[in-house]
Amino acid sequence: MLKFAKIRFSTTSTKLYATIVGETLLLLFISLAVMLYFSREALMDEAKHDVELTLEGTMEHIDNVLMSVERSTYNIYMDLQAHLDKPERMLTYSQKIVETNPLVVGCAIVFRPGYYPGKDLYMAYMHRKGGSTSVDEGLGTTEIECLQRFTDRPYTEQIWYTEPMEKLEACWVGPLKNEDAEDEALITFCLPIFDKGECVGVVATDMAIEQLTEIILSVKPTPNSYSVLLNSKGSFIVHPDEKKLTRETVFNQLKYNAEPSVKEAANAMLSGQTGYAPFHLDNKDWYVFYRPFDREVSCGQPMEKLGWSAGLVYLEDDYLGSYNFLLYMVLAITILGILVFLVLFRLFIHRQTKPLRMLTRYAQRIAEGNYDITVPNAQNADEIGKLQDHFQKMQQSLAAKAAELEQLTKRLKQRNEDLRKAYSQAQGSDRMKATFLHYMTTQMAEPANRIEKSVIKLVNNFSDITPQEAGYERDVIKEQSDAMLDLLEHMIEALKIEAEEAEKVFEKGKETADE
């Protein structure tokens, strides 16, 4: 019974412990999940805002670089148009553009075939010797040389000539790389030359993509972030990897072992969308924020849409690394806190249920019949303390009732003993009565027989008996009658005494029953 009570109590304690701990942990995990979710969302929103601002600044930076090249070209354009009849001055204009802007690696001023009499093709091309140079190196630190050709094909077959001649407006072409450029990838600002309303030539100002990339990548919002700039065909204009600048398009680079997420991000950029996309590359998670690279006004002249798309790529850990670290710290602290909570709560439950275990032991002892045990006073005024007080009063009441019942049991035993003795006495009295009656009957038998004989003698010999004999028989009858009367008086007296004794016993038994 005690073992069952212990198991029953242990099960109740365990259920209480599991219920409270389970609900607490559920509430804690829900609160923690909600907090971490909204924290991550807030961090992502802040990161998006920062990246969008950085992307906007990057686009403005790129626009300023392009505008610098355009402005250098426009600065000589009016003077160049005024001296179209002097082809020898074209080399001076070309050289001036290269000298005045360190971003320019070369400038070609070309005219349509036969524009100058006696000259089928005419190109004034000045090139910075040694290729591109950093802006920090300043002007005049590199030599400028005059070249007679640009690649192995005639300029009339080059896109930087054919496109502005067809569009009849300023435009950017490129990137030019591989067989379309010399030594390094280029982007070219092309400005048509008009003579009397007719397009007669092109001023093509070259800028090295590597140099543009160096300028743009000098600003890094995070350690692993970088900017990219794609043209409408998917070629990189800006990218930190120089090898990617000389390859054909982004899709050729993604042809082999490319994650689908990378292709999706590239397609979103080339479609002119604004937004961001996650992708997985080199076993890392990245985000790219992109938007079209649009220009409204350049040097006071409207520019057509270039079809370029600018993007800012950053490693997820750069922005979420601190969040992930915080997440791991919170999880570690939470787990440690939960363990401490479980231990402390277990101790608390053990301490709070100690009076219940004590009451269980006392209840078991009372159930075994130990009503006289002493239940200690409660130390607390809570519900368990009140239960202990009520249990103490119940035990005291049970002890009092048990004492009364014990006294009553003793009295009943005594009365039963008295009744047994009275019954024994009654049985003895009955035996004495029977013996007495038998004795009296025996004693009365002889007088009765003598009276009977005398009466028979008198009746049978009434006429022959003498007076003396009749007197004798009469005396005998009288004497024997007196003897019988004495015996009857003795018997009546004995019965009277016996009745009084029986009445006393009955009254005593009645009084005992009433008590």
- Nearest Cα to 253, choosing from 273, 281, 272? 281
d(CA 266, CA 279): 10
Q: Using one digit for the tens of pLDDT, what is the confidence trace for 138-162?
A: 444 457 777 666 677 888 888 889 9
Question: H/E element holding 91?
Answer: helix 90-100
- Calculate the alpha carbon distances from 48 to 40, 314, 362, 486 in Å: 12, 11, 68, 141
Let me know if 4 is exposed, middle or buried by CB neighbors in 10 A (0-12, 13-18, 19+).
exposed
Lookup result for tokens 């802040």: 46
Residue with tokens 């010797």: 129
Phi, psi of 239 (to 5 degrees): -165, 140
Element spanning 297, H or E: strand 297-298
| Residues 311 and 279 sit within 8 Å (Cβ to Cβ) | no
CA dihedral 69, 72, 73, 74 (to 10 degrees): 120
Backbone angles phi, psi at 30, to 5 degrees: -65, -45
Domain spans of the chain?
A: 40-323, 393-514
Question: Which residues, in sequence order, are bridge partners of residue 195?
Answer: 198
- Which CATH number, 3.30.450.20, 3.30.1490.100, 3.30.390.10, 3.40.50.300, labels domain 40-323? 3.30.450.20
Classify 310 as helix, strand or coil: strand
Separation between Cα atoms, residue 330 and residue 250, nearest integer Å: 41
Per-residue pLDDT of the chain (515 residues; tens, 9 = 90+): 444 444 444 566 677 667 777 787 788 788 878 887 787 777 777 777 777 787 788 788 888 888 888 898 998 988 998 889 888 899 999 999 999 888 898 899 999 998 888 888 888 988 887 655 544 444 444 577 776 666 778 888 888 899 999 988 888 887 776 665 666 778 889 999 998 889 999 999 998 877 777 777 776 777 777 777 887 777 777 777 766 666 656 666 555 555 676 777 777 777 778 887 787 777 788 888 888 877 755 555 545 567 788 888 878 777 666 667 777 887 888 888 888 887 887 787 777 777 777 777 777 877 777 766 777 776 667 776 777 677 777 777 777 777 788 888 888 888 788 778 777 776 776 777 777 777 777 777 777 777 777 777 777 777 777 777 777 777 877 787 877 788 777 777 777 777 777 677 666 655 655 65
Residues 103/64, Cβ–Cβ less than 8 Å: no
Q: What is the DSSP letter of 287?
A: E
CATH number for the domain whose boundaries are 393-514:
1.10.287.130
Q: Establish whether domains 40-323 and 393-514 are of one fold.
A: no
DSSP-derived 3-state class of residue 343: helix
Q: How many CB atoms lie within 10 A of CB 156?
A: 14
**Residues 240 and 209 sit within 8 Å (Cβ to Cβ):** no
Q: How far apart are CA 199 and CA 213, in angstroms?
A: 33
pTM, full prediction = 0.56
